[in-house]
Structure 1
């Protein structure tokens, strides 16, 4: 059942407009090991863009580069419309703390007009959300805000590390722990809500952090509103781990079988 009143996610991604920039602050509810959960940071930036008075259309793609550690407290967002035409807008956002850039993002918004449509990708077979078991809480605080229900590739963090690399593929349902209707902000945040692929490949927690993430949105806001869902089916995998960096590619699906978003990222690890 959806809750009434502000949701923790909306509080965590809240931004306010200033004279020359937007402001926000980190949330202890979405904290990772050494800083805020990257998906929450990305969703906060996307909220500033969606709320911007010059914004037109829906998010089509967004790339977020995490340039430096984000410390607890307030931050500024310098939001700039770089270029606009009849069908698309190109935005740039710099997040700063104490005058230093911590995060750099670019985004494309577009008017999604009716057109020929074909979904070549097939919906991954899965048991329904209600039949999947909730994953136990981890030491990472941000994960407490989500209900993870693994169908395949459930990670194990507390046994012995794997003697040889394991499969990094996973299939899981993701929803807010306190149910919240899925919107564009949800898709942005959940596209970074997969556990690090190296955690699955090595079956242990190692120092890890997203360096750059790009998310592509394959639905319009009115279509997503009509889906009226509180969870998505999420699949993710990796292709390579090499010299301190590894990739990840993922998909977010509606329970009705629509591909809502795809995502890629490069992440640092120490192992």
Structure 2
């Protein structure tokens, strides 16, 4: 049942408009290893863009570069419209703390989606229903506790040390907010970074890890998401390479009806 009280996710991604900068604050409910969960940070940036009075259209792409750890507390968002035309807008957002040090740098594209020919050649990855899939035990990090993960394939085994040869980095899971919340562009953005690190799956252990850069592409607009009317998504993720402290991650987010909602590609740091 959807709660009528303010959702923790909306509180965590809240922003306020200032004279020249927007302001926000990190949330202990969405904390990761050494800073806030990157998906929450990205969603906060996206919220500032969606709420901006000059914004037109729906998010098409968001790239976030995590330049430095985001410290606990307040931050500023310098939001700039770089270029706009009849159908699209290009934005730049800098997150700063401590007198101007840039912690996160983002670029975004918004677009006016118009009716056109549609075709989805990629097939929906089948899965056992959400209600018939067991929840994954929650980990110590607070952000993980905010989601209900239910692995269909590739459940991470994080005890016993690294395997040789490495295990598969592929996983498929249902994901929803622990307290149900209708999926919108903000939660879609956050969930696109909610895949566990692919190296955790490959090595079957947790190692120091952090996303350096992610890009998420949105394949639906607000009206499409409203029509899907769902609180859960099917997420599939994999990796192609781990080499010299960095590895890629790529994922897909699907509605239960079989519609591809978003795709993401990332580069992440690891120490192993």
TM class, shorter-chain normalised?
A: over 0.9
Partners of 1:69 and 1:219 in 2: CA distance? 31
Question: Where does residue 85 of structure 1 map in the other structure?
Answer: 85
| TM-score (ref. length: structure 1) | 0.99
Offset, 1:248: 0.5
Q: Distance in 2 between matches of 1:188 and 1:223?
A: 15
The Cα of 1:156 is off from its aligned counterpart by 1.1
Cα distance in 2 for residues equivalent to 1:125 and 1:212: 29
Post-superposition offset of 1:161: 2.5
d(CA) in 1 for partners of 2:52 and 2:205? 41
TM-score under structure 2 normalisation? 0.99
Does 2:54 correspond to 1:54?
yes
Task: Kindly tell me the number of residue pairs found equivalent between the two proteins.
Answer: 271
- Partner-residue secondary structure (3-state), 1:206: coil
The question of 1:133 aligning with 2:95 is answered no
- SS of residue matched to 1:141: coil
Which residue of the partner structure matches residue 211 of structure 1? 212
| CA offsets 1:149-208 (integer angstroms, 9 cap, x no match) | 000000011233213211000000010000000000011000000000000000000000
SS in 1 for 2:143: helix
Cα deviation per residue 1:17-71 (whole Å; 9 max; x = unaligned)? 0011000000000000110000000000000000000000000000000001100
- In the other structure, the counterpart of 1:26 is 26
Cα root mean square deviation, aligned: 0.6
Q: Which runs of 5+ in 1 are unaligned?
A: none
Once residues 253 and 86 of structure 1 are traced to their aligned partners in structure 2, the CA distance between those partners, rounded to angstroms, is: 30
Q: How does 1:1-271 map to 2 (within 5 A)?
A: 1-98=1-98, 99-271=100-272
Return the alpha-carbon distance in structure 1 between the equivalents of residues 171 and 50 of structure 2.
31
State the distance in 1 between where 2:181 and 2:162 align.
Answer: 35
Cα contact 2:161–2:203 (8 A) shared by 1? no
Unpaired runs of 5+ residues, structure 2, are: none
In the alignment, is the contact (CA less than 8 A) between 2:153 and 2:171 conserved in 1? yes
Structure-2 separation of matches of 1:119 and 1:107: 24
d(CA) in 1 for partners of 2:226 and 2:47? 16
- Structure 1: distance between partners of 2:142 and 2:158: 15
User: Separation in 1 of the partners of 2:197 and 2:7?
Assistant: 26
Retained in 1: the 8 A contact 2:175–2:233?
yes
